[in-house]
Chain A
Amino acid sequence: MSGLQLSHDKLIEVYRTMRMIRRFEERVMDEMATGDVPGNTHLYAGQEASAVGVCLHLNDDDYISSTHRGHGHSIAKGVEIDGMMAELFGRATGTCGGKGGSQHIADLRKGMLGANGIVAAGAPITCGAALSAKLQGTNQVAVAFAGDGAMNEGVMSESFNLAKIWNLPIIFAIEDNGFGEATANAHVRPAASRVVPRAMTFQPSRSMVRMCLRFMPRLARLWSALARVVVQRCYTSTCRATMATTAVIQTTIAHRKRKRRCVRNKIAWSTSASASRKCRCWILPNSMLLIRRSKPKLTMPSLPRVLHRSRGCRP
């Protein structure tokens, strides 16, 4: 896994955050079952790697926006976990004083612009945050998380366009779990219409890329990191809470820590459960930087092939 330039400690930290998300969601599911958490929540278990893989490259003052399935993004961005759980219970000590709930957890101190009950609504808001960073001349970048279901909302395309014409320091991270609500993606789009080609329409000119690389070095660095960590390697098994994660980041840890029993146990846990559905994470940058790869290779290789590759690499 030569592309994954992360230190051993960093990998452990990444894995710990992923486990934290999983544990958080398991607890929420238990509390839901007993009726202690009011209302409805959407669990992020199974998609941990994409949130953590993206957010590990971000600073506290960088912005993200999340979706209705947002606990993982919040935790990965560093939102305090006690506050999040208190929020789910509707307590005054919650992240939003109990007024928001699961779908509206936000913490501006951590650059978390909010989970969102409306599909795709975070995309233009994140464009605004990126515009704010650009106009104020800060070095911040913004990441808009969305699901593949959001790709069917018109505002998503509007936001891609705005991001491109305004040259904003923003990346769109589209988590593809194959479903929009409970309807399979294949059922609501033509067979030939895939996420990435649709977004590729917004690819910029070479001069824009040069300008971007010159004026937004942080976005360029971020994108190159993301391109390696997430686009090529981030696989999770499913969006459902009961399934297990088989993220490649974990595999890497297993590879490096082969002789350490404790970590092996964790990996054994994570790979033993069956993976019924893949969750792919597409990263759609504010485009320009797509071009840095001479032949953008954005279709996902199959999971076994990635695993095979990781076996062949040296830490």
Chain B
Amino acid sequence: MAKKSFRQALNEALHLEMARDPRVIMMGEDLTGGAGAKGVKDAWGGAFGVTKGLLDAFGPERIRDTPISEAAFVGAAAGAALTGMRPIAEIMFVDFAGVCLDQIMNQAAKFRFMFGGRAKTPLVIRATYGAGSRSGSQHTQALYPIFTHIPGLKVVIPSNPYDAKGLLLQAIRDDDPVIFLEHKMLYDTVGEVPDGSYTIPFGEARVVRDGKDVMIVAIGRMVGVAEEAARQLASEGISACIVDPRTTSPLDEDTLLEVAEKIGRVVIVDEANPRCSVATDISALLADKCFDALKAPIKLVTAPHAPVPYAPNLEDAYIPTPEAVSKAVKSIVRR
């Protein structure tokens, strides 16, 4: 299998699915970049280069650069989804969902239910998330708990290139609105990715690494952090199992419960703020359903309950580190 970057994997998925299904269209800010300017075409391919080359392959009718009007184009994508298209809307940074949350939360997420199951909304909203790019508080949040909280949305957070491609293809083929979150610090990570189409079903966690002393649940970029921690711990004789839920809605409760029951010690690593987060949600689930199997308190390693800071040293201190994960693990393994 060829080695490809996270960015390439996503780009390939978009190419494949747009070629396969003419109903797939894309809209967003600077999807191509340079539109309307002299002599420049497809200058950017999106702020992070994910949509590069799509304009040449599929033309401006299907690859639409929009005005800076998130509410209008996300709403239009929802309306197009309701009427037979399979649109992909790109919100450049998930933080900008603040100005179009109504269209996501009150509209797209509700159509199928509110209209008595007689409507489909095959909409994908792609957005970047996450800290680490020194971009300050309004371009760096990990807002997936907000979307996970809303019934009617599916929330996908890939942690590696293989999953990114398979999950994006699945998202486009899904008949419900999907929030597809890409960590901007993962775009250049490389992994083995097949050339053709393949899908990864939603609600199926991946056991990244098997172990017997502690179960580490990690999401998105935190999977890499957990893997690094697991390597450190292995050298100290602690064997850590890592589970990546991949989708926070639907959540693979079965795998989480099965592994937690088997091992009995759990650490959850989450880049989002800790109040009402996916970490607290999974923790509550395990405490509720497999309390008797637990041998130690569930430990959470999260960002602090504060906005993401700008200064590099502060931002580095904000993001959960492998050292913090190791420390949490040791606090429950060697009691």
User: Given A113-B82, A118-B102, are A123 and B114 neighbors across the interface (CB < 8 Å)?
Assistant: no
Quick one: which of A151-178 are within 8 Å of B by CB?
A: 154-155, 158-159, 161-162, 165-166
Residue A128, interface by CB 8 Å = yes
Separation of A161 and B119 alpha carbons in the complex (Å) = 27
Separation of A87 and B62 alpha carbons in the complex (Å) = 38
Stretch of A99-107, A185-193, A212-220, A224-232 with 4 or more beta carbons under 8 angstroms from chain B: A99-107
| Interface core residue of A124, A126, A133, A162 (most chain B CB under 10 Å) | A124
Instruction: Give the residues in chain A near B118, CB-CB below 8 Å.
Output: 96, 106-108
Residue A207, interface by CB 8 Å = no
Instruction: Give the residues in chain A near B75, CB-CB below 8 Å.
Output: 121, 123-125, 127-128, 155, 159
User: Given A132-B80, A135-B61, A162-B67, are A124 and B114 neighbors across the interface (CB < 8 Å)?
Assistant: no
Residue A117, interface by CB 8 Å = yes
From the candidates B61, B71, B84, B116, name the one contacting A132 in the complex (CB within 8 A): B84
Instruction: Give the residues in chain B near A98, CB-CB below 8 Å.
Output: 116
Residue B77, interface by CB 8 Å = yes
Residue A97, interface by CB 8 Å = yes
From the candidates B73, B76, B114, name the one contacting A104 in the complex (CB within 8 A): B114
Quick one: which of A80-104 are within 8 Å of B by CB?
A: 94-100, 104
Tell me, rounded to whole Å, the shortest Cβ–Cβ distance linking A86 to chain B: 11
Separation of A99 and B115 alpha carbons in the complex (Å) = 7
Interface SS majority for chain B: helix
Residue A114, interface by CB 8 Å = yes
Residue A63, interface by CB 8 Å = yes
Is A121's CB under 8 angstroms from B103's CB?
A: yes
Is B107's CB under 8 angstroms from A128's CB?
A: no
Residues of B within 8 A of A (CB): 25, 61-62, 64, 66-67, 69, 71-85, 87, 102-103, 106-107, 110-111, 113-119
User: Could you list some 30 contacts between A and B, CB below 8 A?
Assistant: A63-B83, A94-B116, A96-B114, A96-B115, A96-B116, A97-B117, A99-B115, A100-B114, A106-B114, A106-B119, A118-B106, A121-B75, A124-B72, A124-B74, A125-B78, A128-B78, A128-B80, A128-B82, A128-B83, A128-B85, A130-B79, A131-B79, A131-B85, A135-B85, A155-B71, A159-B76, A161-B67, A162-B66, A162-B73, A162-B76
